[in-house]
Amino acid sequence: MSDAFKDVSTVPTLTLEPFQAEEEKKPAVQPEEPKLDDTILTEEERRMVDTFAQQIDLTNSSMILQYGAGTQKKMADFSESALENVKSKDLGEVGTLLTNVVTELKSFDEEESKGFLGIFKKASNKVESMKAKYSKAEENVNQIVKALDNHQVQLLKDVAILDKMYDLNLTYFKELSMYILAGKKKLEEVRSTQLAELMSKAQVSGLPEDAQAAKDLDSMCNRFEKKLHDLELTRMISIQTAPQIRLVQNNDTQMVEKIQSTIVNTIPLWKSQMLLALGVEHSSQAAAAQRQVTDMTNELLKKNAETLKMSTIETAKESERGIADLETLKATNESLISTLDEVMNIQREGREKRREAEAELRNMENELKAKLLEIRG
């Protein structure tokens, strides 16, 4: 598409044989904003119009049919090329990738489980997870950059083509204006001179052939006038095309500016935010680990202090105790006295039982002696 208008001349040309081979091209003239008068033309172009007007032959039917047809055909081809080149570009792919990146960025907020014993392992796992998510998001961002670069290159080509199209449209506008000016000059000249003479001659002579000649020339003038009207319609299309080209070009330019802003501002900002998120997570996890370590240290210090307190108190208590407690000695003494009492009671009971036994033994002895005496007697 970029070569569509490469070999198209931007120099206004006039010809009565539009479909023959092109003549040698003349130096280009930079056209100004067109208006429907000869003020848009240079002195050289005005002379071209005057010279060309003298070459117009209104008695030539073929010439009338082809008058300005070359420029009209170029306008038709130009419109076809313009339609092909100003098709809107689809940025849906970029939108999809942007949505994917937003999704990836949101996933950075995923919460992790808590706990002291596993904090270092879990922190490491979370950082690794964030790195993996960052890599995936970065891949999507790189795809976006590549897609945007391609769109930017194409849009820049389109802008350049639209500049060329705008210049060509102004050239065609000027050519049409020159055809119309030359045609109107010739038409006015023929009607004021040749047609007037033929009509006067027919009135004077009264001959039918003179009347027919005047009528034929009048018909040719009318046909030529209609042809000029067709050229004016084509010229109006050219007038309408100019702002349309600029509108499309302005839209493409704005899109290029937005793409450039995205590439140089938004994309780096995304990457910076991702890196910041990763750095903040590192800092947060380090702070959390330090907080857990500090809390555990304080807890251990409290426990050690409490243990030391209890140990010290117990030691002091034990150091102040005698070898034997008074209560222990008292209990021991009571136990000993009780034991002695028991022993004395046992001994007393033993003596009584022995006395009783001795008395019983004496009785038994006496009884035995008595029994023996009885046997002897």
Residue that is written with structure tokens 């045609």 in the block: 183
Higher-confidence residue: 158 or 29?
158
Cα gap 336→328, rounded to integer Å? 12
pLDDT digits (tens, 9 = 90+) for 181-192: 989 998 999 899
Confidence of residue 8 (pLDDT cuts 50, 70, 90): low
Of 243, 267, 301, the residue at which a domain comes to its end is 301
Cα gap 189→338, rounded to integer Å? 167
- pLDDT at position 115 is 44
- Taking residues 13-20, report their average pLDDT: 62
CA 343 to chain centre: 107
Same domain, 138 and 286: yes
Same domain, 159 and 285: yes
- Taking residues 157-173, report their average pLDDT: 87
Confidence of residue 212 (pLDDT cuts 50, 70, 90): very high
Residue that is written with structure tokens 């389109």 in the block: 158
pLDDT digits (tens, 9 = 90+) for 111-157: 444 444 444 455 566 667 767 777 777 777 787 778 778 878 888 88
**In a domain? residue 288:** yes
Cα gap 97→92, rounded to integer Å? 9
**In a domain? residue 28:** no
Radius of gyration of the chain (CA): 62
**In a domain? residue 31:** no
Same domain, 220 and 290: yes
- pLDDT at position 123 is 56
- pLDDT at position 82 is 65
Percent of the chain clearing pLDDT 70 (strictly above): 76
Of 235, 267, 301, the residue at which a domain comes to its end is 301
How many other CB atoms sit within 10 Å of the CB of residue 344? Answer: 10
pLDDT digits (tens, 9 = 90+) for 352-371: 888 888 888 889 888 888 88
**In a domain? residue 188:** yes
DSSP state of 193: T
Same domain, 331 and 234: no
Q: Does position 64 have pLDDT exceeding 90, yes or no? A: no
Same domain, 62 and 162: yes
**In a domain? residue 314:** no
**In a domain? residue 317:** no
Same domain, 82 and 196: yes
Confidence of residue 159 (pLDDT cuts 50, 70, 90): confident
Cα gap 336→333, rounded to integer Å? 5
Same domain, 293 and 183: yes
- pLDDT at position 222 is 93
- CA quadruple 213, 216, 222, 225: dihedral sign: negative
**In a domain? residue 338:** yes
- pLDDT at position 34 is 39
- Taking residues 148-174, report their average pLDDT: 86
Residues 58/214, Cβ–Cβ less than 8 Å: no
Higher-confidence residue: 89 or 347?
347
- pLDDT at position 225 is 92
Same domain, 194 and 286: yes
pLDDT digits (tens, 9 = 90+) for 257-303: 887 887 888 778 777 877 777 777 777 777 777 788 888 888 888 88
Percent of the chain clearing pLDDT 90 (strictly above): 5
Of residues 17, 41, 15, 46, the one with CA closest to residue 29: 41
- pLDDT at position 265 is 82
Cα gap 348→52, rounded to integer Å? 174
Does the pTM exceed 0.85?
no
Same domain, 130 and 85: yes
- Tokens representing 371 are 């029994």
Backbone angles phi and psi of 352, in degrees to 5: -65, -45
Same domain, 81 and 230: yes
Same domain, 370 and 282: no
Same domain, 197 and 50: yes
**In a domain? residue 25:** no
Tell me the CA distances in angstroms from 277 to 58, 210, 229, 333, one per residue in order: 82, 98, 70, 81
Mean of per-residue pLDDT scores for the chain = 77
Range of the domain at 131: 38-301
Q: Number of folded domains in the chain?
A: 2
